[in-house]
Amino acid sequence: MKSLLYTLTIACTLGLLAACSSGGGGSESAESTVDLTKNTPKGQASVVDNESKANILQVAIGSPDHTTLVKAVEAAGIEHVLVNAGPLTVFAPTNAAFDKLPAGTLDDLLKPENKGKLAEILTRHAAPGSYDIEDLKKEAAKGRKLYMATGDYLDVTTEGDDVFVNGVKVEASIYTSNGVINVVNDVILPK
């Protein structure tokens, strides 16, 4: 925070010097460089609310089986999406699911330079709308595919009582205030 203010001061100073040398508009830039909006970097994920039913992010944070997912969501910078009004359906890979990835894959994705790639992979696990296991069975019965937030379509199939998305079995549905979490034991990868 302090360093941000410091940067701001430097920027302000430089701006003024530049205005000075060009010989005009000095006072105007003095007003415009003071941007207090930058002092309050907030988002919906920081809303304090202990009364509402828990949202997708809050449920995930509370789940000991999803610590890797939560870490990945934060690294990808998509935490605000998971508290949005939605409604959203999130297929939430367990820690065990991430462990199945080839060695080094996750560590690589968590690197800052791969933020965009990680966000893309995670976003492929989110669909607009609320679909629990029963809804997914209906999708399968009607031959519908599931449209994901990345624009991909996932195949929805059934085998006996079980439901699969792109071949990954849906273990359980958890209801949240802004949608549904479907627990999966594999990371859903593009076909």
Partner 1 sequence: MKSKFMVLLSLVALTLLGSCNNGSSKKKSQGALSGNVAERVFVAPGEHDEFYGFISGGFSGQLSVYGLPSGRLFKVIPVFSVDAEKAYGFNEETKPMLMTSHGFIPWDDSHHPDLSQTEGVIDGRWCFINANNTPRIARIDLTTFETAEIIEIPNSAGNHSSSFVTENTEYVVAGTRFGVPVPQRDMPIEEYKGNFKGALTFIKVDQETGNMDIAFQILMPGFNYDLAHPGRGKSHGWFFFSTYNTEEANTLLEVNASQNDKDFIAAINWKKIEEYVANGGGKKMPTRYAHNIYSDDTHSATSTMKTEILTVEPTDVPGAIFFLPTPKSPHGCDVDPTGEYIIGNGKLAAALTAHSFTKMLDAIENKKFDGEAYGIPILNYDDVVAGVVQQPGLGPLHTEFDGRGNAYTTFFISSEVVKWKLGTWEVVDRKPTYYSVGHLMIPGGNSRKPWGKYLVAMNKITKDRYLPTGPELCQSAQLYDISGDKMELLLDFPTVGEPHYAAGAPADLIAPNSKKFYKLGENNHPYKTLSEKEARVERKGNEVHIYMTTIRSHFSPDNIEGIKVGDKVYFHVTNLEQDFDVPHGISMIGANTSELLIMPGQTETFVWEPKQPGVWPFYCTDFCSALHQEMQGYVRVSPKGSDVPLKWSLDGE
Q: How far apart are CA 181 and CA 191, in angstroms?
A: 22
Binding site for partner 1 (CB under 8 A): 5, 8-9, 12-13, 16-17, 20, 23-28, 30-31, 33-34, 36-37, 39-40, 42, 47, 49, 51-53, 55, 84-88, 128-130, 138, 177-179
Q: How far apart are CA 15 and CA 26, in angstroms?
A: 9
CB closer to partner 1, 28 vs 155: 28
Say which residues have a Cβ less than 8 Å from residue 134's Cβ, sequence separation at least 6. Answer: none
CB closer to partner 1, 9 vs 105: 9
CB closer to partner 1, 87 vs 158: 87
CB closer to partner 1, 148 vs 168: 148
Shortest Cβ 178–partner 1 spacing (Å): 7
Shortest Cβ 170–partner 1 spacing (Å): 20
